Amino acid sequence: MDSSRLDRYVAEKWDDDIIPQLVDYIRIPNKSPMFDKDWVAHGYMDDAVALMERWARSQPIAGMQLEVVRLEGRTPLIYIEIPASDPTSGEDSVLLYGHLDKQPEMTGWDSDLGPWTPVIKGDRLYGRGGADDGYAIFGSLAAILALQEQGLPHARCVVLIEACEESGSYDLPAYVDHLAARIGKPSLVVCLDSGCGNYDQLWCTTSLRGMAGGNFGVKVLSEGVHSGDASGVVPSSFRILRQLLSRLEDEASGRIRIEGLFAEIPDERRDQASKVAEVLGDEVYSKFPLLPGMRPMSDDLTELVLNRTWRPALSVTGVDGMPPLESAGNVLRPHTAVKLSLRLPPTLDGTAAGELLKQVLLSDPPYGAQVELKLEKASTGWNAPAMSPWLSSAIEDASQAVFGKPAMYMGEGGTIPFMGMLGEKFPGAQFMITGVLGPHSNAHGPNEFLHIPMGKRMTACVARVITEHHAASLRGETAGIAAVAGGSQHGEHGCC
């Protein structure tokens, strides 16, 4: 391999071809189905698929076959198959994954930015979805192109780009089963939908939290009444809701009170958290836009890393039943509802956690109030299997070659439903889970951006690992596994 040539090819591919495509992609408001119930009629998802399909078909990748697969009543999926560079790879293969659906707009964007307005400032491309996860298909194919440009070998590659990851990937099991025979026997899974602790080295994800959540509401009246007349007689729905949430979460510390929502943290993950804290320092928390005077939830950096990767945590992400401040009259409101997002330890069963959440919040409500919890998600997280020596070496070598620094390993606080699914489908596969969502990139929030140099370096690293996978396969170091079995056993999956 001519390393300088590979890096130069990737950088030029990004500058001349990929970034213009991502600019056009950001303009498309292709919100995930959970956030756009009329996504079929609006056609934005089809627009995003068409953009990526056109670009992919125009790439000079030897033997590439592409199909937009559409199962009835489901979001579309882009399926790409690239044959091995030589027949010696046999049936071994690499599976590369990403998604093209987006989170909703969110408020708080800077005046010159917006979710559907692509803006390049220095090394950053702002706009919804560029980093989460529009770049995945472009980076995956660019990595393979970089290898073929030098005649470097690679095994058979399959690229899957789904369109409902942000809604929990509920369509994906059906597609994986439908395409089982074509997907074949991947021994390496590459996912470009995760985060990085900094933009200075390669970061690989070792675990992902699960998720349980949905809409939780309390009703006390059939209609609103004069607050001066009813207060002190009719209990506030907000107070009851607050009281019920205190069963789940200690409002003073933020610690989850239910021991059944915790899981044992492996020693290896504790050691990795300590190394992450050492490398990042106060960037563990200062990467967030904390207001002046705000402090993190612990002074111990390692504990903060473990809090966001291996411990349960509750967020309230939406509220209903409360009028805006400017139209809030003196009314005792009839109901209060919130959207709950409960992150779970990677190894905790998501379905069981969802049932426990119901039990805690719905049993014996104060004053006989009407309470309801509509679970939208109940997904199990993912803890990476032990890494094979060849992959550990390949990732380290790639990081040193591209960044000049060692690779880092860290759990992530979000959820990628596909990983748990793949862990079940391919129990012998190795995983390289990585991504460009680093400090201040703010996925899901306002001012989301893609760090362009990180995208380029990530692509170069993936290319190196793919060709090292081929070499390991020839040495018999990649354990091929049984083909995908039909009949998924999956319930709800949480989204990132």
Phi, psi for 66 (deg, rounded to 5): -130, 140
Q: What is the pLDDT of residue 404?
A: 98
Domains and CATH numbers, the chain: 3-208+381-474 (3.40.630.10), 211-256+311-377 (3.30.70.360), 263-288+297-310 (no CATH)
The position carrying tokens 């390049």 is: 120
Residues 6+ apart with CB under 8 A from 111: none
Measured distance CA(280)–CA(274) in Å, rounded: 10
Q: What is the pLDDT of residue 419?
A: 83
Q: What is the pLDDT of residue 226?
A: 98
Phi, psi for 393 (deg, rounded to 5): -65, -40
**Strand, coil or helix: 225:** strand
Measured distance CA(145)–CA(9) in Å, rounded: 9
pTM (global) more than 0.75? yes
Low-confidence ranges of the chain (pLDDT < 70): 479-496
Q: What is the pLDDT of residue 168?
A: 83
Measured distance CA(319)–CA(217) in Å, rounded: 9
Q: C-alpha distances in angstroms, 389 versus 191, 278, 396? A: 19, 25, 11
The tens digit of pLDDT for each residue in 72-111 reads 999 999 999 999 998 877 789 999 999 999 999 999 999 9
Residues 6+ apart with CB under 8 A from 356: 258, 260, 261
Q: What is the pLDDT of residue 489?
A: 36
**What CA dihedral angle connects 25, 419, 206 and 100, to 10 degrees?**
0
